[in-house]
Structure 1
Amino acid sequence: MKNKSWIVTLCAVFSGVSLAVVQNKVSPIMNILMETLNIPMNTAGLLSSIFAMVGILLAIPASSLISKIGVKKSGVLALCMTMVGTLIGVFTTNVTILIVSRLIEGTGVGIIAVLTPSLITMWFPSEKRGLPMGIWGSWMMIAQTIVFLLSGFLSEKWGWQSLWWLGLAFCLLSLVLFVLFVTEPEPEHNYMSKSDEKISTMQAIKSKSSLTLAVGALIFTFCSFSFVSWITLFWSNGTGWEIAYTQKMISLLYFIEIFYAVGIGYVLNKVKNRVNLAIFGYILYGIVGFLCFHTSSPALVMTLIFIYPLFDAMIPSVYWTVAPQTALKPAYAAIAIGTLNIGLNLGTLLSAPISGWFVENFGWVSIGYIFIVLGVIGSLITSRVKFNF
């Protein structure tokens, strides 16, 4: 059972990574899209973040979908919908159609973002959930490492559409692995559903702790996706680095973050008060984010490349791990994960357009101040999270 739980988890995480490649392909080529499609910063930001709108709408329904048709069918549906959206996007230069295709792609992440942590909750008891959730917490970083590492070479050789083909290839491989290896545990070994009681969605979403965690998640992804959307342009302008070189440095940042996320997951299995890590991490995250958008020193930028990912990994790793325990009862764990995803996706949706507007009107320094303010607020909100079981 132990080996099977890890095989299922790793295949499901890879599916999440594949869909995150599709989601994050816009950020490293934002400048190319603005120039090629002749669009302003806020529209380019919308192309990046509109992906999250479907994630918001599907966060709770995805939980019901998984319970009705099962994990395997839900995962296959997620991957197939994303591939359909990608194929539409790759053959158009019309901005409106491209935005619609991003919404279709977002269906996949909306489902998989609930499905994978739900699977982990099914296969692992709460005391052993930290490490697999920490690995799951690295899904975005792995994808960001891949797209920032390859975007310069691919876009220069085959145009911006090459990133769309890359995402499609990942999804096809994930589909094969998902069909072959991903399954739910037997009922007697399922740590999510201990009974056959009927799940009331309206009752489940009344958990104050789940809603509080979702607000904290909104703040985190607003900061995190504001960073990934604009840091390439800011660091290139400030340091004088070529865009391609900056992309490689950001790829290094997210590569480092993968190891931080796994390490934090290991720590989460050892500590009792997991929430304290996020409370502490939020304060330092705000300070480090402030510095990222205030320095033009190549030496300091290189230092931040190693510091920033520690706190960018810490907060979501904690949130994913504790989310099931904020449910009113174990049977409602998937709804709690869905509620968390509403916050994560709403923050993603709002991040690039709003931060892009601030940059255009108040300069790059404004994003740094946003980090400081939201870091304090995020810490205070996280301190209010309580466990129900």
Structure 2
Amino acid sequence: MDDKPTGVPSTPKYAWTILAIVFFLSIVLPMQWFSCPPLSANIFETYGLEGAARADFGLLMSYVAITALIAAVVAGPLANRLGHRIVLIVAGICLIAGCAIAALSGANFGILLASRIITGIGVGLCAVSASSVIAMWFPGKTRATAMAIWSTWVPVGMLIVFNGAPIVVNAFGIHVLWWIICALAIIATLLVAVFFRAPREDEAEISVQTSSLKSALPFLKSRQLIALGIAWLGFNYVNYCFVTFNVDFFQTGMGMNQSIAALIGSICSAAGIIAPLFGAVSDRINKNRKYLMIVVGCVGLLIAAAVGFQNATLSFWLFIIFQILGNSILVATCRPMAPMIVGRGGATAVTYALAAVTILQYIGQMLVFIPGQVIDAFGYTAQTAWMAVAPVAFVALVASFFIKPKKEEE
């Protein structure tokens, strides 16, 4: 599992500048991506949604996830051919266009949907390229911390827009909000265009030279990477199930009022914000033992799944505590593991590995309709959790043990 011979600086100073630039662009994306949920009433009123309004409203989120998945598929080849700087600039341009189209949509819901499709392209391109850039710039001793910091891009963006959007919209209207996000997107894209650069060979622990997919394929077929992909897919399925149904469960299953349910739900959903803490812990663990952090995260996920959707007080608090721990630990440790596994294959192998991780993330999130159907049939009960959630968490846990390197790699 060695990446490249020693002699590389600990962490290049400019790596932190790159992280700041990429992180700024990254957090503006979920500000636009998640601008609709806190403004559902405003959108219903502005766009005259009636009848199957909630189904129509759901498309605003689904379209982003679907196009992000498609963009993630092509992001690897594009970055390998054009470079990460170009891909990130294109992601920024898509975000700018998505914001501007939404701001100019007036009361036309079809135009608003089109804006979400374009925004989703930016989300998918950035998710792959940003994580690859950070993996290239940061050596193994600080990579988990850096990637964990970047991995907070969605919860940070969500917190900003969930708390700021209602204030802006109540004062100036919904379209002004999208113009503000558009302005931030322009600034973020310009920063990438002016200050971004790829690391020099002497600055990178992993070779920055690109190669063909064929030459990278032997590294991508690694047993460890496949196991990591299964664990990551399972985590995203289980965690997105919690994110999607928590607030409804807290209200209908636990009898909480809407404000308390939303507060606890937001805390669980934004648990990834504490991921840098676990990233720092991972950076202090021997590289051949880092996989144990993923095992621990999957154990937390399985416990949360096993006690989920039960209205007993003890079960409820175990559910909250362990889903927060599982979420934050796995967000902090899974992505950094990919470049560690395939690092000997250089920049191309790392980019394709992280593209695969991103694709699996969106696939896991898209499968959340499965527990939704089980909840419709059985309600919020232990039976629901054990049927639709816990088995997937168990598979993720089993897969996590296979991330351990072979003895000859230790």
Q: TM over 0.5: same fold? A: yes
Whole-angstrom distance in 2 between the partners of 1:225 and 1:44: 18
Q: Distance in 2 between matches of 1:284 and 1:67?
A: 36
Residue of structure 2 in register with 1:378 after alignment: 396
- Cα 1:241–1:196 change in 2 (3 A) is closer
**SS across alignment from 1:141:** helix
Instruction: Tell me if 1:240 matches 2:256.
Output: yes
AA matched with 2:298: Y
Mapping 1:39-54, distance limit 5 Å: 39=52, 44-54=57-67
Indicate whether 1:314 and 2:326 are aligned.
no
Deviation, 1:199, is 4.2
Larger Rg: 2
Partner of 2:21: 11
Q: 1:89 touches 1:98 (CA, 8 Å); kept in 2? A: yes
Alignment of 1:71-220 (within 5 A): 71-90=84-103, 91=105, 98-150=112-164, 153=167, 164-165=178-179, 167-193=181-207, 195=209, 197-200=211-214, 203=217, 205-220=220-235
Query: More deviation in 310-319 or 356-365?
Result: 356-365
Letter in 1 for 2:396: G
Alignment of 1:220-299 (within 5 A): 220-237=235-252, 238-243=254-259, 246-253=261-268, 257-258=272-273, 260-272=274-286, 273-289=289-305, 291=307, 293-295=309-311
Structure 1 residues 326, 346: CA separation in 2 closer, same or farther (over 3 Å shift)?
A: same
Question: What are the superposed Cα offsets for residues 122-151 of structure 1, whole Å, 9 maximum, x if unpaired?
Answer: 211223211101112222221232233345
Distance between the aligned counterparts of 2:49 and 2:229, measured in 1?
35
Structure 1's 76 and 230: CA in aligned 2 closer, same or farther, altered over 3 A? Answer: same
In structure 2, the residue matched to 1:340 is 357
Distance 1:16 1:378 in 2: 27
Counterpart for residue 8 of structure 2? none
CA distance in structure 2 between the partners assigned to 1:367 and 1:149 by the alignment: 32
Please provide the CA RMSD for this pair: 3.5
Q: Decide whether the 8 Å contact of 1:214 with 1:342 is kept in 2.
A: no
Question: Which digits, 9 at most, give the CA deviation of each residue in 1:254-298, with x for residues without a partner?
Answer: 55541x21110101101121222222221222332555533486x
Helix, strand or coil at the partner of 1:266: helix
Partner secondary structure for residue 240 of structure 1: coil
Q: Quote the offset at 1:9 in angstroms.
A: 0.9
Shift of 1:102: 2.4
Residue ranges of structure 1 left out of the alignment (5+ in a row): none
Q: How has the CA–CA distance of structure 1 residues 10 and 125 changed in structure 2, closer, same or farther, with 3 Å as cutoff?
A: same
**2:206 counterpart SS class:** coil
How far 1:337 sits from its partner (Å)? 0.7
Distance change >3 Å, CA 361–CA 206, structure 1 → 2: same
Letter in 1 for 2:359: I
Distance in 2, matches of 1:28 and 1:286, equals 30
Aligned-partner Cα distance in 2 for 1:77–1:319? 26
Kept in 2: contact 1:250–1:305 (CA 8 A)? no
| Whole-angstrom distance in 1 between the partners of 2:374 and 2:44 | 17
Identity %: 22
**For 1:23-34, what aligned pairs fall within 5 Å after superposition?**
23-28=33-38
- Give the number of equivalent residue pairs: 385
2:30 — aligned with what? 20
Give the gaps of 5 or more residues in structure 2: 1-10
